[in-house]
Structure 1
């Protein structure tokens, strides 16, 4: 009963996923600068897939997917997840951290109309207010855009494309995760994305491995490969089953706030008043979206899952 009451306010797995991702931004930046964006993407995908395969073997779970579900899985893996890896890392390399965070956090706004069109579920007023309020909080936290020459229109457009792809990563595999589980579907999606990223980034990967980076870069690779790609993605897909894609994506807004708080705790960075207001706005937006998402998905959660006979 206590767990059910707690989840009315905050979903633990969605929060844990964005906590891992929020802490990983400076770590990813270090890895990208050391390996190169595409080389880093390829090697961390290999690490993540190896961990997932070991987990499946230890649990005795199968990777078998029925033929009728392969088209949806292909779109989710080759299309959404594969393109996200490329657009996110290359876009980060060509724009500033401020622009990257701002454009990536447009995902919940895109999710509202896309979920309405795809799932035929009209978003509740609380979900709309939560998404808009959360984005306003992100703008307040990030502050003024950086005026560095490193920020380019090309990099901003790539990051915006990554935000759209992340909506696909969240929305498209939802029926598959319900049927087969989060770990097998996450494994297949990462395998498909590895194929896509390897086709583009193989030369850069060979060069990065020829010039072996330092221990710090390998530590960044292991953190993002194991925690950010395996743990956080599995937590995220499970949360989508309970809340729906549009509601879960509002949790994405928490990442800049988590980065600010961790920076204040461990690096001694100062948090401005406007950033505190932004963090509060994000939390209120998440709470509103959380309540709306649970109300919308109560029938779906309560209904038993029908398994196909072998």
Structure 2
């Protein structure tokens, strides 16, 4: 992607990752028709760990010892936190509604990027981030007729876990290839995901069909591994806070997939909100973002 600037390449890679992530909630909803939330959480992570471990072994990648604490943080948030919280939430709310609630992800990611990574977005960026989140929140409240339930709280916790994992992953992806970051996090967590899968297998499988097994495969190979390859590389190239704004589109990807896959209704107002969000992301892309001297590094990125 040398014909693109780092910022443009990062946004493009981030958009590919967001498109893959956009199917996560609908696929989780499908998987829950045949498996328990805990089995979905552990088995998808185990599948991803097998794929990641095979790639790391074949390519003979050395274990990055100095990054183990940060990789452990990525694993706790991405491998356990988000999947567990979102699976519990989707037992009581539609995937389409969940996708809209997760529209808060870009703003949360920007906040944690400022706290953890030292990024300092300017006023225009924060204005765009807040405006985009308000648009998505207004859409969410309107769709739910201004009723928020326990599922929304679980999704908010899932959003916090995802945001922290994105910031930690993006920070590491400046020093390691993006796929290695999530790969090593998955491998480090694999003893726990294997044990968890075996422990809940007896009570966590409810006569699933091919659709449910297919959903588990998607969640493991794409949502937990493949999508992060593009996403982490995008964060490293384009900057965590800026590329995070692309996540505003994830809501509408989720809505479209929920409509096609689950038959959940998507009204004409969705198009209007999607266009408004697209404008906010475009405007935010032009905003100035700096990084504190202690954390500043050349943003060459590693794909």
Instruction: Using structure 1 for the length normalisation, give the TM-score.
Output: 0.80
Deviation at 1:99, TM superposition (A): 4.8
Flag the structure with higher helix content. 1
Q: Any idea what SS the aligned residue of 1:106 has?
A: helix
Q: CA RMSD, aligned part only?
A: 3.4
Deviation at 1:232, TM superposition (A): 0.5
Instruction: Report what 1:93 is aligned to.
Output: 91
Q: Any idea what SS the aligned residue of 1:292 has?
A: coil
Contact 2:46 2:194 in 1 (8 A): no
Instruction: Report what 2:45 is aligned to.
Output: 45
Contact 1:242 1:301 in 2 (8 A): no
Q: Any idea what SS the aligned residue of 1:35 has?
A: coil
4+ runs of 1 displaced by more than 6 Å?
Answer: 198-201, 263-270
In structure 2, do the counterparts of structure 1 residues 152 and 91 end up closer, same or farther at CA, with 3 Å as the change threshold? same
Instruction: Report what 1:158 is aligned to.
Output: 154
Q: Gaps (5+ residues) in structure 1? A: 306-310
Q: Any idea what SS the aligned residue of 2:89 has?
A: helix
In structure 2, do the counterparts of structure 1 residues 165 and 24 end up closer, same or farther at CA, with 3 Å as the change threshold? closer
In structure 2, do the counterparts of structure 1 residues 185 and 279 end up closer, same or farther at CA, with 3 Å as the change threshold? same
- Structure 1 window deviating more from structure 2 (246-255 vs 194-203): it is 194-203
Deviation at 1:139, TM superposition (A): 3.8
Q: Gaps (5+ residues) in structure 2? A: none
Deviations 1:134-177 (A, max 9, x none): 2234245546243799x733x32221111111111111233322
In structure 2, do the counterparts of structure 1 residues 79 and 276 end up closer, same or farther at CA, with 3 Å as the change threshold? closer
Aligned-partner Cα distance in 1 for 2:30–2:208: 11
Say which of 134, 137, 149 aligns to 1:136. Answer: 134
Contact 2:38 2:204 in 1 (8 A): no
Residues 7-86 of structure 1 correspond to what in structure 2 (within 5 A)?
8=8, 11-58=11-58, 60-66=59-65, 68-79=66-77, 81-86=79-84
Deviation at 1:285, TM superposition (A): 2.0
Instruction: Report what 1:288 is aligned to.
Output: 283
Instruction: Report what 2:119 is aligned to.
Output: 121
Contact 1:37 1:89 in 2 (8 A): yes
Instruction: Report what 1:246 is aligned to.
Output: 241
Deviation at 1:228, TM superposition (A): 1.9
Alignment partner of 1:275 is 2:278? no
- Structure 1 window deviating more from structure 2 (134-143 vs 17-26): it is 134-143
Q: Any idea what SS the aligned residue of 2:232 has?
A: helix
Q: Any idea what SS the aligned residue of 1:34 has?
A: coil
Aligned-partner Cα distance in 2 for 1:148–1:94: 16
Instruction: Report what 1:308 is aligned to.
Output: none
Instruction: Report what 1:224 is aligned to.
Output: 219
Instruction: Using structure 2 for the length normalisation, give the TM-score.
Output: 0.82
Aligned-partner Cα distance in 2 for 1:133–1:9: 24
